[in-house]
Structure 1
Amino acid sequence: MNKFQLTIQNDDLGITPVENLFINHYLPKAPGDFVKVYLLGLKFCFQSTNHSISNEVIAKALGLLESDVVKAWNYWQAQGIVHISPAEDENKMISFLNIKEVVLNKSSLVTSNTVEGSTQELVSSRKNQKVKEMHEIIEKMYGRPLSPMEMKLFHQWMTEYSFSPEVIILMLEDCFSRGRKEMAYIRKVALNWYDAGIIDVEDAEKYMGTHRDKWEKYFKIMSSLGFKNRQPSQKEEELMDKWIIKYNLDIEIILEACAKTTAISEPNFNYIDKILTDWHDKGFTTLQEVKNEQPMVADKKYTPKKPSQKISSKLDLDHSYDIESLEKKLLKRTRSDISD
């Protein structure tokens, strides 16, 4: 009996095949660090010597935290292209599934029973105590029973986004705290959380912490413009992010620019953006620098106009006449008029 083995002395000369399905459909939406873990694990699958490699070693090789490596494996398992199962010696067997086969199997399951199957999944998920508690908490937040479509959406986030029930509750509470309850907005937030690689409560709290300061600044800006009871539009959020993040302007400088809209009948974000862009281009970083410029602007505005050159030339021309001769002519004409 023959045994076959491909031997490569230099690991750099080896090849790791990556399916185009992964590159086209899974890679674009996955967090970058999770892609690194997947590719390194895939490389280990094609090595001739298959030794056990710990998450700690993988983390050091990629410059990541070990907890991030664990999150990556859970993420890819939730995507359905990696399967994790216990093995001997309390290790885990990480199996990389053939993505073409995964896609074909999914396609074959799309039948007329899809809706019925989805309904059964929802019913089964309700038997999970954590999912049931999540539904009850969200119903109290809305003050009404959840619709089947809403429950299906939450179930989708748990299966496709790997969100835990606790993460979904935190996300909804965060949206509700800003007065945003519409599902279209919440869907967008869920996608942002997914793109940020949020899986557990720790990730969610850290993410909310970094964004809470930004929303407090949003509120101050909107309030200064008289929009206390209105949420900013997407375009307004983009402009405020430009001032806060890209320009890195202090909130006091932004509020100073907002104060200049008092002379305008309707506050205008584009007007404020022009002011702040001008200050940013001039390198202003403090409120005092902004205020120091104001008197100079005022002096220019109210400087009286000098007589035009045309008028000055005319006066000079008048002075070229003989004043004494003009007086004699005027006196002679006056006497002639009287005698008449």
Structure 2
Amino acid sequence: MGRLTIYKDNYVDATAVSNLFIDEYMKDANDAQLKVYIYLIRMMNANLSISLSDIADKFNHTEKDIMRALKYWEKNRILSLEYDESKSLIGIHLLDLNGPKEKASLPLTECVIAPVAVSVSKEELPANENIYEKPSYSLDQLKEFKAREESSQLLFIVEQYIGKTLTPSEVKTIFFIADRLSFSVDLIDYLVQYCVERGKKDFRYIEKVAISWAEAGITTPKEAEQKAYKYDKAVYEIMNALGKTSSPTAKEADYIRHWTKNLGFGMEVIHVACERSVLGTDKHRFEYADTILKSWHEAGVHHVTDIAREDEKFSRAKTSRGMTKAASSNAFNQFKQHDYDFESLEKELLKIR
């Protein structure tokens, strides 16, 4: 009998992602970083060459966004970037996630799963370019930036936060953040607000925060807020005060934001509410503290000294309610004792007899 050919109508066309990546790395990555990494795996499996512009076009990102995502994964030892002598990107190596950590410092050939060729022209990534280094902008460039309607509105918003007219140097910093770091107007708005709320109006500080966000691949105010709360010391103080040792969940972070931003409470008042929540219940402590803080907000509490006033009012009201209840429970006995004269009743009964 001749040899048989076995075939089927459909073949599995899938991209496998490491479970270790899902468990350990995916939770901290943003949307752009995840897209770039998964797309690299897909192109590697197909043995296809790609370029920065191809990836940028695929996901409607800028090439700077893609480069930031690649640098983020390189920093986390997920991949290695290869450059030629002129510092142009020529290759990407996806590293073995299951391999020993020491291998990250060994020659790339010992750590590589498979190479993904990346063709990058010098126009796409100029030699020796550092996207996190502020260039020397000319006066014409600054004038052009300030002349744009969107930029003009942005600079006005920043001046309102800072409380003064911006100097040329400060305008350059905003231009750099918008131009090189590709921050949107909304993200720059949130960035300056974030720094000012922490008492930092110095533009060198604002620039450092912007660069740290860019290196982390942050592209939206929501991602920036999540990062800020993840590393905010005050958040962990509140978590500890409620007996929590883990990172805050999304719901818990919402409670904390509501207390600090919407209700406007300082840490001292929140700490008192947390202490009472711990004493009052073993479960649902966030809900318990939220009820306390809402009632204080409605009562006009702003400082710890105001809490004593509210405690006194509550104590008086509780005492008054107790006295009213006691009087009500004794009403029947009092009625009998005061309304009946047993001596007179006895005389009336004797007369009848």
Question: Which is greater in Rg?
Answer: 1
Higher helix share: 1
TM-score (norm 1): 0.40
